[in-house]
Amino acid sequence: MISDKNLARLAGFCYLLVIGTGLFSEVFVRHALRVPNNALATAQNIQTHEMLYRWGFVADLINFVIGIPTILIIYHFFKKSNKLIVQLAVAMAIIQTAIIAVNLLNQITPLLLLSQDSYLSTFQANQKATMALLSLNIQAQGYGIGLVFFGCYCILIGYVIFKTNAIPSFIGVLYAIAGLCYLINSFTMFLSQGFANPLFIYLAIPIFIGELSLCLYLLIKGIDTSKC
């Protein structure tokens, strides 16, 4: 049987993989290859770096699968003292995972559109490129919708951490701030003309700090189960 300390470390390790795969797929694949308002350039990038694009898709799938045990282990530790709140948090995380996982269909669609399959011969190259970029734009909105639910998860878990002190309370505050930043990020995008998001670069920093802080504390220190 796995000890509580090792279980917490497992959660931290899984969370580290979630952060790593998420950064890879979002920063080094989607943001690197997508050229805003330039369908042909985006299509050329995807075709030139097709294997990188495929790895980004696979990284996202791994992210969602590995994220589930992390969520359940955190639930396991806090279910006795804060059952209702952590149940609500788990529900938010499951909804987020389901939305973004299904939304991956929009991410893989450009590979189908830009293929050399004969049934696509009725479309011109610029038409296929336009549809590919549209699919990526839809994917970005779906991702933003999913992150609304994940932001709520972070706020709830941050509150539980702050309340129990099983993990230092400042980490709970940082994690809740990360969740708030996720909400601000998504709603800024939804409400901005052209879905522009000028705040992303500023919000990404507290998000990264909040998530990495919890991840590393779980991995290195674990959880004081006597306070859960």
Q: How far apart (Å, rounded) are the C-alpha atoms in residues 13 and 166?
A: 18
With 0.85 as the threshold, say if the pTM is over it: yes
Q: Mind listing the pLDDT tens digit for each residue in 2-28?
A: 788 899 999 999 999 999 999 999 999
pLDDT band at 81 (very low <50, low <70, confident <90, very high): confident
Among 217, 110, 99, smallest CA distance to 161 is for 217
* Token couple for 117: 């399959």
Cβ burial of 92 (10 Å; 0-12, 13-18, 19+) is buried
Phi/psi zone of residue 123: left (φ > 0), alpha (ψ -120 to 50 degrees), beta?
Answer: beta
pLDDT attached to residue 119? 84
pLDDT band at 86 (very low <50, low <70, confident <90, very high): very high
Cβ burial of 28 (10 Å; 0-12, 13-18, 19+) is middle
Average pLDDT over residues 165-193: 95
**DSSP states of 84-139 as a string?**
HHHHHHHHHHHHHHHHHHHHHHHHHHHHHHTS--GGGTTS-HHHHHHHHHHHHHHH
The DSSP code for 26 is: I
Q: Mind listing the pLDDT tens digit for each residue in 115-162?
A: 888 888 888 989 999 999 999 999 999 999 999 999 999 999 999 999
Q: Mind listing the pLDDT tens digit for each residue in 28-48?
A: 999 999 998 899 999 999 999
In this structure, are residues 203 and 184 in contact, taking their beta carbons and an 8 Å threshold?
yes
- Percent of the chain exceeding pLDDT 70 equals 100
Sign of CA dihedral 213, 170, 143, 190: negative
Q: How far apart (Å, rounded) are the C-alpha atoms in residues 105 and 107?
A: 5
In this structure, are residues 16 and 219 in contact, taking their beta carbons and an 8 Å threshold?
yes
pLDDT attached to residue 117? 84
Average pLDDT over residues 95-108: 95
The helix (H) or strand (E) run that includes residue 50 is helix 50-78
The domain locations on the chain are 4-223
